[in-house]
Structure 1
């Protein structure tokens, strides 16, 4: 009898750039594009959904986004890039805390996607072996 296998995401636990890249990409996907709004097929993630809860939701979303910055620090990104990434999260959190308008803003301003772009650019330059050909 074939039992359905539980859906599980296997994340590498290593400290090498390839493992860190996969963890960051997975977190960004979870926070920004893990669900689709039915009818309009627009991707949203936990950042937007958790952000609907006043104050606490925005703090939780910021903490999850800070994980990406922490992993970037482990990669050795320069401090100015880390500050820029932190600024993206702070801006997203500050505007996201505004009732209603902030929730709409969360759907458009994707701080974690911006931070992933910063990390990818760094990795492509300093660790080209981690590049993934997206098809």
Structure 2
């Protein structure tokens, strides 16, 4: 049996741990990033997109909801004890994604290519690998 890629977002969203330890936070943040950036595959181009792109098609409200969901990732990073500079960078990525998303058509294209939540997840993973080495996960 071959693995055709990462499991769907629904597989990550079931039974997420509610604890406050770094491993549980990592799982929740990875699930949120997957939902926002890679929940669906666009047929024909085989590119993963998520709710961030889909919500971008709803003017203002959709971008606001996507920014709020992205802010959740930053909030979880704060719970991990990340420093203020890292949190500011992560928040600015979410803010930039929100601001550019407000521009019609250009914002929709930017959501497709600029993945602020994926970048924020990488920042969180670097922090976790450095400060909580017991929870290191080897990515494929």
1:102 and 2:116 matched: no
Cross-structure match for 1:45:
50
Pairing partner for 1:73 from 74, 78, 82: 78
Stretches (4+) displaced over 2 A: none
CA distance in 2, matches of 1:10, 1:32: 20
How does the TM-score come out when normalised to structure 1? 0.93
- The runs of 5 or more residues in structure 2 that have no matched partner are 1-9
- Equivalent residue in structure 2 for 1:88, among 87, 93, 99: 93
Return 5+ residue gaps in structure 1 as ranges.
Answer: 1-5
TM (norm. structure 2) is 0.90
Determine which of 18, 31, 34 is the counterpart of 1:29: 34
Equivalent in the alignment of 2:22? 17
Q: What CA RMSD, in Å, does the superposition of the two structures yield over aligned residues?
A: 1.3
How far 1:134 moved relative to its partner? Answer: 2.0
Q: SS of 2:112's equivalent? A: helix
> Which among 58, 62, 65 is matched to residue 60 of structure 1?
65
Aligned residues: 130
Structure having the higher Rg:
1
- Secondary structure, aligned partner of 1:36: strand
| Post-superposition CA distance 1:39-87 (Å, at most 9, x none) | 1111100011011100000000000000000000000000111010000
Q: Which residue of 1 aligns with 2:133?
A: 128
